[in-house]
Structure 1
Amino acid sequence: MLFIGIANAQQRQVSGKVTSASEGSPLAGVSVRVDGTNTATQTDGNGDYSIAVSKENAVLIFSYIGYSSQRVNLGNQGTVNIQLTSTDNELEEVIVTALGVKREKRELGYSAEQVDSKTINKASAVNIANGLQGKVSGLNVTTNNSGVFEDVKINLRGIRSLTGNNNPLLVLDGIQMDIKYLSSINPNDVENISVLKGAAAAAIYGPDARNGVFLVTTKSGNEVTSVNLSHSTQWQNISFFPKLQKQFGQGADGEIIPIENWSWGPAYDGSIANIGPELEDGTQQTTPYVGTDERQKFYDTGITNQTNLSLNAKNFFLSLENADIKGIVPGDKNRRNGIRLNSKREFGIFRAAANFNYTQQNYNVYNQEGQENYYTAQNTGGNDGLFSQLINTPAHIPLTKYKDYKNDIFSTYDHWFTDYGINPYFSLGNWRRHGKKQDLLTNIELGLKPTDWLDFTYRASLTSRGIAERYITEGVKETPFGASRGKTAITSALEEYNYNQNVLTSDLFASVNTPINEDLIFKGILGTAVRQNEYRNTSVGADNLVIPELYNIGIRTGILTGASNGYKTRLFSVYGSAGFNYKNWANLEFTGRWDKTSTLAPGNNSYFYPGVNGAIVLTDALDMSTDFFNYLKVRAAWTNTANSDISPYFLEATYSQANGFPLGGITGLTANNTTYNYNLKPERINTTEAGFEAGLWNNRLTLEATYFYSKNTDQIISVNTSEASGFARTNTNAASFDSKGVDFDFNLSPLINFEGGSVNFRGNFLWNDSKVTSVYEAQGLKQEELSIGGYTIAGNYAIVGQPAFVMRGTDYERDDQGRIIVSAADGRPTTASTNVNFGRTLPKWIVGLNPSVNYKGFNLSALFEYKGGHVVSFFGLGADMAWTGVSEATAYNNREPFILPNSVIEDPNNPGSYIPNTEAKIGENEAIYNYYTGEFQNTASNFIVSANHWRLREVALSYQVPETWLKSRQKAIKGLSIALVGRNLALWLPKENVFMDPDFNNMTDAYPNAYGNVNSTSNPPVRNFGFTLNATF
């Protein structure tokens, strides 16, 4: 009893509250640890903590990711309230690095940036990538489509491969996975994201990390149970639409032709005009001949409702999500439901953690591919997709009247007004894609810490994606009237598609952290990893269903169609690092990794790549810290990484089913026209970076800058080969390019202080450049350019001596002053015989500016983003609009004969020289549309414009209800906030861009690097505005 009494006398409870120094709000999940012991706890949802202390001179350490750590000598204190300073304005934060290891930023010899959950969710983006736009230097996010899936493309500091994957790696809670899974993660589950921008920071992760890494850490349990409920509602409408003319209507050569989709008719005059054919009963549709323009009105106002419920307890975190998304395309919808369970537990020297995340999306969307296949089969000359149909419709056509395509005679398939298109509402109903996508992300982690200096970690994970889709063609029967117009039957059809991918990973590593002497600490990691990637997709279809709207492939005529393919790959790795910390102001780290892959041939399928990085905190090393200049760190890093990201059977002869087969019982296969090359080896990337981090005025102003240079060699490309071999092309290691740049971050926090609030201002900047140094030269053959994607008339290329990539396309013949050479007879120009380069397609500069104001619980923030120094081609979109006469350009000079601006004719008195054109007019002796559907449409320079733009990316106004006010009125709600949010609210473009948002790109799986190409197959861009509510119980 005596000993028990002595023990109790030595132990006491210390309690308190931890809040944010900048906002005064409580911080949940702050680690509170008694220095030199295993005693630790965390703050609850109100920021409160309580911990048992037995030492007389105990020291408490408060640490929280995104905030500066604090040490407090307790003395006799029983209550300790702490304010932690956000690392928005600190340079000594704790940051998550490779393998999930938490390190002080002062130790790192490379650039790494951490973004917390609050910043990501500022404007309630459903896709995490959109929540990061403009907030991380070096990050470029572009949009492929604005549908219900928010399809985006991501890269960091430009590209490392001309033809391969340039996406960063996603690491979720220590597990590597494809960046495509980022859209499956609920943004509200995220604790923070560390962005490792260069290969030097991420080399230990292997070849997939060559383009940088997104390290996503999800939330974990707290000591005290809390419940959080949040809801967001956002509306969407079109933010930018092509500039269309509304002066001239349906027809050709100035005459109304009721069945045309061309807008080369006479000027609108308000009269009553016939549209469409005369029907069987002799009736014909009429409408006022006025450019009312319902093309943009066709789209709906989209709406997204997202609700999240989470339970945070001592050893686990549980969350539920429901996102109901209704798109701007009528009838398009997607519902995303998700559940996450994170759990962890410590048992003395053992620890265990398990994370489970399941997301299901159920969607019903317009299937544009089905309509494109119809146009190809019918050979009708129709436009490609929905957006193209809409914008190429004459302005007086009352589009929104034609929703009832089954019952309204003028809306039906065979009675549609034009022979050269389809009612867009019929398209929406006839071609549908129904699908279910399921993502399962699960992992376990086991740890053993037998001593203070040695730790073992084992991680195993399964990343699984399953997609089941049904491509439905409703079909329509042929009628004699429709057949007379070339509108033949569309057979009812069904294709069922199943996709399954499973990635298994296993990772075992040991980490050491031990002092060599009182000044020098050694930190090392040694590990091994195995990853297996298995994929299979299967499709089966019936093109002639017997009973309309009964979608069963068993009830059909004819044979089934189908295809199936799959692969399995494996990667085995050994990796390690060795680092030395001297007096906590000098750090030197060596890294190395050896990989062996199944995708390359023996002899070339294993490779080693080393790296080194170092950092010195000069203000500590030279004892030069002052109140004005209190922190300065310099750092540098070098690494050599590899890229073996090729398709699994790239080295094998592959065959596919030949057109027209199977024929009866006969199977026909066709060989690939590209020969395999067993001598392929990995692409190589040598990266160097150097930079500094500085703090002034007690870190009121922080600066961080990095210069980076990358030499990218042995690029895997496809080149022509002698057809005598039986093949047309071969794959080889040949091309190379260099890239370099500077990224820069600054933060003024506070910029201005005033009673009850502050003004803060932060920003980031990227300058990025590149140069292709070689493409291919061997056996007497030399190739100096490589097509990356796009059109022959306007495409993306890698060209020796030019940046990677450049837009190359057709232009008019010009004289040495750049003036357009035209014919003296008719004023029409001639397209040049050789294509020209118009400029780079990746931004040379990206700027993000983020001002914010805090005042007594209110916070107003805005995010502006600039991208510039590049061009974008709208050829696919603009050429369609020129052909049909709907583009604003086709109404130039009121469609009267005109002299082409900046044009010259050959001097009749001095052949070979040119004089200004003052008389030769286009359209003087022929229909003016001949020029627009001829030279104008086929000349890319008419549709390639500057991609420079400023954008108001985000605006958010939030209010945090005071905790004291809540406590005085009830006890259930511990925290409450409300916010008004908006995204993509404004866009400022050069005058010549009358087409589309330049951040849209038509990148596909076939052309993953086709930057700078926009066509008419995407939905128009949208803006979002709405509100969020957040309550903690």
Structure 2
Amino acid sequence: MKHKLLSFFVGSMILTSVAFAQEKKVSGRVTGADGKPLAGVTIAVQGSNVATQTDANGNYSLSVPTGKVIVFRSIGYSDKTLIVKEGQSAFNVTLNNSDNSLDEVVVTALGVKREKRELGYSAEQVPSKTINQASAVNLANGLQGKVSGLNVTTTSSSVNEDVKINLRGIRSLTGKNDPLLVLDGIQMDIKYLSSLNPNDVENVSVLKGGAAAAIYGPDARNGVIMVTTKKGSDNPIINLSHSTQWQNVSFFPKLQKQFGQGYDGIIDPVENWNWGPAFDGSTIDIGPKLPDGSQQTTTYSGTDERQKFYNTGVTNQTGVSLTSKDFFLSLEDALVKGIVPDDKNRRTGIRLNSQKEFGIFKAGVNFNYTQQNYDLYNQTAQADYFAAQNTGGNSGLFSQLINTPADIILSKYKDYKNDKFSTYENWFTNYGLNPYFSIGNWRKEGKKQDLITNLDLSLKATDWLNFTYRASLTSRNIAERNKTVGVNPSEWAINRGKDPIAGAIEEYNYNQTILTSDFFADVNTKIDDDFTFKGILGTYVRQNDWRITRVGADNLVVSELYNLSNRIGILSGSSNGYRTRLFSYYGSAGLNYKNWANIEVTGRWDKSSTLAMGNNSYFYPGVNAAVILTDAIPEWKSDAFNYLKIRGGWTKTANSDIDPYFLAATFSQPATSGFPFGSVPGLTANNTTYDPNLKPERINSTEAGFEAGLWNNRLTLEATYFYNKNTDQIISVNISEASGYSRSYRNAASFNSYGVDFGFNITPIIKFNNGGVNFKGSFLWNDSKVTSIDESLGLNELSIGGYVAAGNYAIKGLPAYQMRGTDYRRDDQGRIIVSSTTGRPSTSSDNVNFGRTLPKWIVNLTPSVHWKSFNLSAMFEHKGGHVVSFFGLGSDMAWTGVSEATAYNNREPFILPNSVIADPNNPGQYIENTSVKIGEKEPIYNYYTGEFRNTASNFIVSASQWRLRELSLTYDVPSEWLSARQKVIKGLSVALVGRNLALWLPKENKFMDPDFNSMTSDYPNAYGNVNANANPPVRNYGFTINAKF
């Protein structure tokens, strides 16, 4: 395979070029948004060495082949791209400080460049400068807030930062709702986005509607994120960039610091419960007396030690790139040291893009290799330890921290190997571990390698017909070692419950290889002076192979000798391999009239290997149209109202995104089966049955919108209404075990999703000498309604994931998804019913709905100010209309008495607000509770560790949020200043940057950032459910330097 790849790469690189095209001279004038001429603007023919610059009056002239794209570039302004068509020789161009334009050229399906005015669907293009404004390491974070309708949320703030992305809500109740990633024309899973160097990106086009899927197939049903990387340029350019950013914890749960360890108001030195007496500053014993007679003590007072556990993280990202006539070469090194001590991840990458022309033939090859080496605390392994101990301990690192008594000075226990009070066996409590011991004892070391290569060949058969062939190989290899340090405690420690920890190692390997082949013909021809025809006809093949292998030794002889042969007993392990294939034919046909009316018909036929014969092929058509009314009716056009376009489309798409071998009976070996028993193997049959007639999920998408420009595009507007009818949803439901199975997969559910996507741009909103103020914003309103679950079984609700007491559900007649959970028993007026003797409430046996878990609206506001060489830009983001559950986090804090809520009324007896008791004179009626207090006849912690902890309504709050997502201040050193002093540096800029600098939440949210969807790593669609295992959110701040040579 290595020899084949080398031949593939070298063979593509040695191609030579011959110029072939009919050239024509074009000329014009370039001005800024204020109408003043711009000098020194570079005008280049994309993909060639032809370029020129504007003179002092903004004028230019150059020879350009017909059909080529010319790019206008200038520091401080957004790039402008235009296509040179027959009959056109003059282009007067206005460059804006904004990244939005109504007549720009955008990259659409299959990488075909089209003028935005032609498109009958919504598409946005984000340039590299905007993406890298705040120097995000993860490309997804660079897109946050910059595309209307795009929702990016974080699942963890670890050094392997993970995000979830969706466009305009969801289209599948139980399947994937991620958009498709297309990198330089090659389709791939969105997970590869984190492997890309944002500085390698030329631009990102976002296709939001179902029209994208008509060409790209089922993976594009949730929209498409098209990433175009940089190519060669006319003159050799070396770019050097460096960014250093620091990370601090930005939000921590509200914890009480009034009461310490113990129970019932009595100090207990070995307890992690915080139900002891109020802090008084006295000296107390903590932990047991050790065998040598030593006893540790502490001051009985509250501290902030739990927050101080986390480090200040540091990210250093350095990149260098060389751009020449026919290639682009870049190197990157990004070292992330996280907020969790000792956690780190280093991403190193190389990219080479090359392109050659042979007259009518063009060949290009892209090569990208990324390696990530990481060393992390292994939370999963520690959770297994706590499960085996069965002591009720808090399994996650974050949970351990927040549930540590406030009088424990955690920073004293860093040296868990040498300090006797910090060791495993001498830790003060049995119900938790020294967090420094935890992060040192359970480690995950890994290497992730991503290789993305593609070959792009095109043949311009005539001036109206072009053939393109693309082949790609995408490979991911993950090799991990999960290590557990063995601990052999003394007999004294074992007697107090500190069981031995067996040294262990697990080798994990994940290998994936995706091969694709894509061939299509592209037609673009004028029928007569009025009509132009554009069409595409192609075929696509994809094969996806992956294998997961695990081998482990659970009882090492020598504790820290991590070799599988260093063991007692047999090896544990598993190996699973999968293969899927997809065959497709696709096409489109478009007719353009006088460049102001456009209609396009699309279609695609897919055949998937994951479905049964007879149901594994499906066709989906589409149509979209656009009309430029201000060109069709010239009388409408004026300086105040210069552009109006209306557009609309309908598309039918399908989704066969199910696991391979879904329809076959499979066998496995559960960890609790007791097999293999010696040399006797044992397997268990799958308890799920699958409908052999399973069909693809179907999506009928409709959208309509407009784009408008006012006052010579000083104000631009864009709005879209979209409606998706989603049917034949594939769901899993419980069935009678008499059938031999407990669950069944079938086509049953359906739901509708709809909304409005709106964006505006004012350039400038205010003008002043040498500068101005620009303002950009977007708004998404998104809703849905579940119309059925499973009528054949009479089901009206479906569990999506989460906790039994607080889970995500799809419920007939309500938006998807709903947070459903436990609540107190209430009377008809919504008042809480409490005991007339204890004052304590009881939890209702019926769960209730608390609201939707996906945002109903998202608002992004981006003001920017530029003056001379300075540019200040901010981005504010608001999400609202939804709820979030912190049940997993809040119930843990209530149990141990560390949450702020458990110190209510200084833990004196109190009447539960809004409570009622049974009316002794009227059975079945209730009266206001004015006298019965919680904690008056029994310990108050009985309520907090009982009904309060188990009732989800105490931990479900509004997920509304405002945040300062990005802030940057950039200074571009004037080019004339540089050229007057030296000839080496052609451009230099420095910037102060920040991300997630401020967060504003409702007062009721005392728990966590609601954007942290930590449970989606286990339940992909369990939005709005945050457990106690995720690291807290962080803010980033730092500086960047960019130099051009």
TM-score strictly above 0.5: yes
Q: Which amino acid in structure 1 is aligned with residue 894 of structure 2? A: A
| Equivalence for 2:282 | 271
- Equivalent of residue 849 in structure 2, options 834, 837, 851: 837
| Equivalence for 2:781 | 767
| Aligned partner of residue 251 in structure 2, secondary structure | coil
| 932-941 vs 908-917, greater mean Cα deviation | 908-917
| Aligned partner of residue 429 in structure 1, secondary structure | helix
- Equivalent of residue 143 in structure 1, options 154, 162, 182: 154
- Equivalent of residue 911 in structure 1, options 923, 928, 938: 923
Deviations 1:755-782, CA, capped at 9 Å, x for gaps: 100100000000000010000022xx21
- Tell me the distance in 1 between the aligned counterparts of 2:43 and 2:484: 56
| Aligned partner of residue 372 in structure 1, secondary structure | helix
- Tell me the distance in 1 between the aligned counterparts of 2:133 and 2:425: 50
| Equivalence for 1:69 | 82
Equivalences for residues 281-292 of structure 1 within 5 A: 281-292=292-303
Q: Which amino acid in structure 2 is aligned with residue 531 of structure 1? A: R
- Tell me the distance in 2 between the aligned counterparts of 1:877 and 1:239: 17
TM-superposed CA distance for 1:53, in Å, is 5.0
- Equivalent of residue 757 in structure 1, options 757, 771, 774: 771
* CA distance 1:275–1:29, shift in 2 (3 Å): farther
* CA distance 1:261–1:758, shift in 2 (3 Å): same
Cα pair 1:203 1:591 within 8 Å, conserved: yes
Cα pair 1:248 1:266 within 8 Å, conserved: yes
| Equivalence for 1:6 | none
- Tell me the distance in 2 between the aligned counterparts of 1:762 and 1:129: 20
The reply on whether 1:384 has 2:398 as its aligned counterpart is: no
| Equivalence for 1:198 | 209
| Equivalence for 1:4 | none
The reply on whether 1:978 has 2:993 as its aligned counterpart is: no
Deviations 1:149-192, CA, capped at 9 Å, x for gaps: 11100000000001000000000000000000000010000000
| Equivalence for 2:441 | 430
Cα pair 1:196 1:202 within 8 Å, conserved: no
Cα pair 2:690 2:746 within 8 Å, conserved: no
| Equivalence for 2:453 | 442
| Equivalence for 1:99 | 110
| 196-205 vs 340-349, greater mean Cα deviation | 196-205
- Tell me the distance in 1 between the aligned counterparts of 2:789 and 2:84: 57
- Tell me the distance in 1 between the aligned counterparts of 2:96 and 2:808: 47
| Equivalence for 1:349 | 360
Cα pair 1:68 1:86 within 8 Å, conserved: no
TM-superposed CA distance for 1:721, in Å, is 2.1
| 43-52 vs 80-89, greater mean Cα deviation | 43-52
Cα pair 1:494 1:541 within 8 Å, conserved: yes
The reply on whether 1:293 has 2:307 as its aligned counterpart is: no
Q: Which amino acid in structure 2 is aligned with residue 539 of structure 1? A: R
Deviations 1:555-607, CA, capped at 9 Å, x for gaps: 11111111110100000000000000000000000000000000000000000
| Equivalence for 2:241 | 230
TM-superposed CA distance for 1:546, in Å, is 1.1
- Tell me the distance in 2 between the aligned counterparts of 1:1002 and 1:455: 47
| 14-23 vs 137-146, greater mean Cα deviation | 14-23
| Equivalence for 2:376 | 365
| Equivalence for 2:11 | none
- Tell me the distance in 1 between the aligned counterparts of 2:913 and 2:208: 46
Q: Which amino acid in structure 1 is aligned with residue 384 of structure 2? A: N
Equivalences for residues 192-341 of structure 1 within 5 A: 192-341=203-352
| Equivalence for 2:697 | 683
| Aligned partner of residue 937 in structure 1, secondary structure | helix
Q: Which amino acid in structure 1 is aligned with residue 576 of structure 2? A: N
Q: Which amino acid in structure 1 is aligned with residue 914 of structure 2? A: N
* CA distance 1:68–1:544, shift in 2 (3 Å): closer
Cα pair 2:69 2:81 within 8 Å, conserved: no
* CA distance 1:1027–1:87, shift in 2 (3 Å): closer
The reply on whether 1:179 has 2:200 as its aligned counterpart is: no
TM-superposed CA distance for 1:719, in Å, is 1.3
* CA distance 1:507–1:20, shift in 2 (3 Å): farther
Aligned residues, how many?
A: 1015
The reply on whether 1:503 has 2:514 as its aligned counterpart is: yes
TM-score normalised to structure 2 length: 0.94
Equivalences for residues 460-475 of structure 1 within 5 A: 460-475=471-486
Cα pair 1:68 1:85 within 8 Å, conserved: no
TM-superposed CA distance for 1:1003, in Å, is 3.4
TM-score normalised to structure 1 length: 0.95
| Aligned partner of residue 88 in structure 1, secondary structure | coil
| Equivalence for 1:459 | 470
- Tell me the distance in 2 between the aligned counterparts of 1:305 and 1:85: 32
Deviations 1:98-153, CA, capped at 9 Å, x for gaps: 00000001100000011010110000010111111111111111111000011100
Equivalences for residues 990-1009 of structure 1 within 5 A: 990-1004=1002-1016, 1006-1009=1018-1021
Cα pair 2:53 2:60 within 8 Å, conserved: no
| Aligned partner of residue 950 in structure 2, secondary structure | coil
Q: Which amino acid in structure 2 is aligned with residue 169 of structure 1? A: L
Equivalences for residues 398-413 of structure 1 within 5 A: 398-413=409-424
- Tell me the distance in 2 between the aligned counterparts of 1:1028 and 1:16: 36
* CA distance 1:707–1:52, shift in 2 (3 Å): closer
Cα pair 2:259 2:274 within 8 Å, conserved: yes
The reply on whether 1:948 has 2:957 as its aligned counterpart is: no
Q: Which amino acid in structure 1 is aligned with residue 942 of structure 2? A: N
The reply on whether 1:748 has 2:759 as its aligned counterpart is: no
Deviations 1:45-68, CA, capped at 9 Å, x for gaps: 99999987599x999965679525
Cα pair 2:49 2:325 within 8 Å, conserved: no
- Equivalent of residue 719 in structure 1, options 716, 720, 733: 733
- Equivalent of residue 137 in structure 2, options 126, 138, 141: 126
Q: Which amino acid in structure 1 is aligned with residue 822 of structure 2? A: T
Alignment gaps of 5+ in structure 2:
1-22
TM-superposed CA distance for 1:517, in Å, is 1.5
* CA distance 1:1025–1:28, shift in 2 (3 Å): farther
Equivalences for residues 728-877 of structure 1 within 5 A: 728-778=742-792, 781-877=793-889
The reply on whether 1:155 has 2:169 as its aligned counterpart is: no
- Equivalent of residue 686 in structure 2, options 665, 672, 688: 672
Cα pair 1:20 1:27 within 8 Å, conserved: no
TM-superposed CA distance for 1:83, in Å, is 6.1
Alignment RMSD (CA, Å) = 2.6
* CA distance 1:720–1:52, shift in 2 (3 Å): closer
* CA distance 1:18–1:357, shift in 2 (3 Å): farther
| Equivalence for 2:50 | 41
| Aligned partner of residue 881 in structure 1, secondary structure | helix
TM-superposed CA distance for 1:289, in Å, is 0.3
TM-superposed CA distance for 1:32, in Å, is 3.5
- Equivalent of residue 882 in structure 1, options 885, 888, 894: 894
Cα pair 2:1015 2:1027 within 8 Å, conserved: no
Cα pair 1:509 1:525 within 8 Å, conserved: yes
Cα pair 1:170 1:176 within 8 Å, conserved: yes
- Equivalent of residue 661 in structure 1, options 672, 675, 681: 675
Q: Which amino acid in structure 2 is aligned with residue 851 of structure 1? A: P
- Equivalent of residue 979 in structure 2, options 962, 967, 988: 967
- Tell me the distance in 1 between the aligned counterparts of 2:530 and 2:893: 71
* CA distance 1:833–1:82, shift in 2 (3 Å): closer
Cα pair 1:90 1:695 within 8 Å, conserved: no
Q: Which amino acid in structure 2 is aligned with residue 763 of structure 1? A: G
Alignment gaps of 5+ in structure 1:
1-10
The reply on whether 1:926 has 2:938 as its aligned counterpart is: yes
Deviations 1:821-874, CA, capped at 9 Å, x for gaps: 111111111111100000000000100000000000100010000000000000
| Aligned partner of residue 409 in structure 1, secondary structure | coil
The reply on whether 1:693 has 2:707 as its aligned counterpart is: yes
| 821-830 vs 298-307, greater mean Cα deviation | 821-830
| Equivalence for 2:9 | none
| Equivalence for 1:166 | 177
- Equivalent of residue 44 in structure 2, options 31, 40, 53: 31
Cα pair 1:67 1:86 within 8 Å, conserved: no
TM-superposed CA distance for 1:282, in Å, is 2.1
